[in-house]
Structure 1
Amino acid sequence: MFGAQVHDYLYTFFKETNCDILLDEEHYLTVQLTIDIDKKIMNRPFYWKYIESTNSEPNPARLTLITDRTKVEKQLFGEVIHFGSARLNQIFKATKELGSFVQMYEKEDSSTGKFTTLTPYFCVNYKVSYYCDQTKERLYSLGINLINGAIEDNFHESICELSLDPKMPEGAFCLQYIIKPSRALERLDLMIQKIIQQDDHTWAEDAKKRWIRELEVLDYFYEGEETRPESYEIEKKALEERFNPRIKVEIINGGLFYLK
């Protein structure tokens, strides 16, 4: 499930940033990066500084990104990418820099000549990170109908196959939203909190158990000392930072979509 989410996200990112998608298989894709995207996600500042200072011909990277290694049967050389991987975090960062909010309209089939009514939806893509001595990340795409308030999960996936344009199509009428985007964001924030609350939190309980065991080992090494040295407090604090369960919610991007 999560591999498919990553794959869809990558496909959309590279398509929208004008990178050539050379190969798109179910569990991996090969892309030719543009100069701009190479600079944003490949960590090659010295290479690009050299190219620009010498007026040399640029050679943006070509990437094969594997979103589910277990499903790839043939031998394939590429970079495995998943939630928490450095490359995906770089792409999230690039997405924020390139545009955190969009307004798009579903295109009309000009051959029909029909008058189209478009309904407004507000979408937010969240990244939820679960931290302790181990890390787990999940991506959620929530969309809310600004007329009736209905919330849809996997909203990004539902619009991936639609033909969207930043310009309102001719002959289309956009319904005026009843729920303001600011209020919609509040509702989606409450929904993501509810999703987190209903999630399985045994990972946090297990982390606390490992934390207690490590504290017992630490106490054993300093057993018998009347006054604990500063090094004890430093190590104890380090264990707390390592094992203490915490959850971080980030908004990657969002948008206002007018759909049929």
Structure 2
Amino acid sequence: MKINPYYEFVKNFFLSYNCSISDQGPYHMTIQLSADMDEELMNRPFYWHYMKKMNRQGEPMQLTFTHTNGSEIEGIYLHAGSPMLQRIYGIAMKKGQSARLYESIKEPVDQKAMNPWLILNALIQYRGKQARDEQLSVGINLIHGTILTNMMDSLWNISFDSQVSDYTFPMTPVISLISGYKRIHNYLDTYIQAADDSWAKDSILQLEKEQHLLQRFFETEDVSKDDFLKEQAQIETRYQPRVTISIVNGGLFYISQQTSQGLLMKTT
């Protein structure tokens, strides 16, 4: 089965905000929302206003998501244009835009210095004949400038705290945050330029085809110039290939030298 790229993101998003999975199968999952997430996501302001006024807890809703469109189980199919996915993106961007965290060290270590890593989670949106979203997590070591990808996956099993652990100290960055941000953005630009652009070529061909048909229709039918221009603009909006990069969130992560070396070894 082809993996839905948005499925794991949505799952991790809800688990990160104290929601739970009440039912899960090979092709679906049902999320029990917390009261706070229901209030954020489900657009029921009057219900929650009434519950608070009556000093009652309220009953958060459940959401079922499916891997594929047309699944036997009724639920929300996650795709690039899904309104629910766009709302989830918006909440993620609002709630977790930045963080400063330190690797949790329980025992004294020989190498006490903590390397600063700037990590940005980016959303790349491809729009044209077809729509596609891609999520990239990119980190740069602010001491020597090494850039790594899939950073959040690499850090998933590492414990972090908001306070510096005993016996350790954070190193002062050699590379500034602004410079680090620009380097990651340049990396993303290079990544997009090197990616397969067949989708853009298909979009341009479809755009030219639609424009040609519109021109012929305009020449043979009684259509006003204003209507022609409006339809032309709509065709360009639908088929003109474009790529946008949005930084969803990010943070400064201080990671021990041992762990940093382990991250670097994974890429070699």
> Could you say which TM-score interval applies, normalised by the shorter chain?
0.7 to 0.9
Q: Does 1:100 align with 2:75?
A: no
Aligned match of 2:76: 79
Q: Does 1:215 align with 2:211?
A: yes
CA distance in 2, matches of 1:2, 1:94: 27
Q: Does 1:253 align with 2:261?
A: no
Does the C-alpha gap of structure 1 residues 176 and 3 become closer, same or farther in structure 2, counting only changes over 3 Å? farther
Structure 1: which amino acid aligns with 2:89? F
CA deviations on 1:149-174 (whole Å, 9 max, x unpaired) are 11001111111111111121122122
CA deviations on 1:126-162 (whole Å, 9 max, x unpaired) are 1111112421111111001111111001111111111
Normalization by structure 1: what TM-score?
Answer: 0.84
Does the C-alpha gap of structure 1 residues 47 and 219 become closer, same or farther in structure 2, counting only changes over 3 Å? same
Matches within 5 A, 1:1-260: 3=3, 6-22=6-22, 29-66=29-66, 68-69=67-68, 76=73, 78-108=75-105, 110=106, 112-114=107-109, 116-223=112-219, 229-260=225-256
Does the C-alpha gap of structure 1 residues 236 and 69 become closer, same or farther in structure 2, counting only changes over 3 Å? closer
CA distance in 2, matches of 1:86, 1:31: 17
CA distance in 2, matches of 1:210, 1:82: 22
Give the percent of matched residue pairs that are identical in Structure 1 and Structure 2. 29
Gaps of 5+ in 1: none
Give the CA RMSD over aligned residues: 2.9
How many residues are paired up?
254
Shift of 1:5: 5.7
CA distance in 1, matches of 2:7, 2:116: 26
Structure 2: which amino acid aligns with 1:60? P
Gaps of 5+ in 2: 257-268
Greater mean alpha carbon deviation, residues 47-56 or residues 244-253: 47-56
Normalization by structure 2: what TM-score?
Answer: 0.82
CA distance in 1, matches of 2:190, 2:81: 22
SS at the partner of 2:181? Answer: helix
Shift of 1:228: 5.6
Shift of 1:25: 7.4
Structure 2: which amino acid aligns with 1:35? A
SS at the partner of 1:161? Answer: coil
1:12–1:160: 8 Å Cα contact kept in structure 2?
no
CA deviations on 1:55-94 (whole Å, 9 max, x unpaired) are 444111233434x349x9xx65543334443222222211
CA distance in 1, matches of 2:27, 2:178: 37
1:211–1:243: 8 Å Cα contact kept in structure 2?
yes
Does the C-alpha gap of structure 1 residues 119 and 2 become closer, same or farther in structure 2, counting only changes over 3 Å? farther
CA deviations on 1:168-209 (whole Å, 9 max, x unpaired) are 112212222111111100000000000110111111111111
Greater mean alpha carbon deviation, residues 97-106 or residues 217-226: 217-226
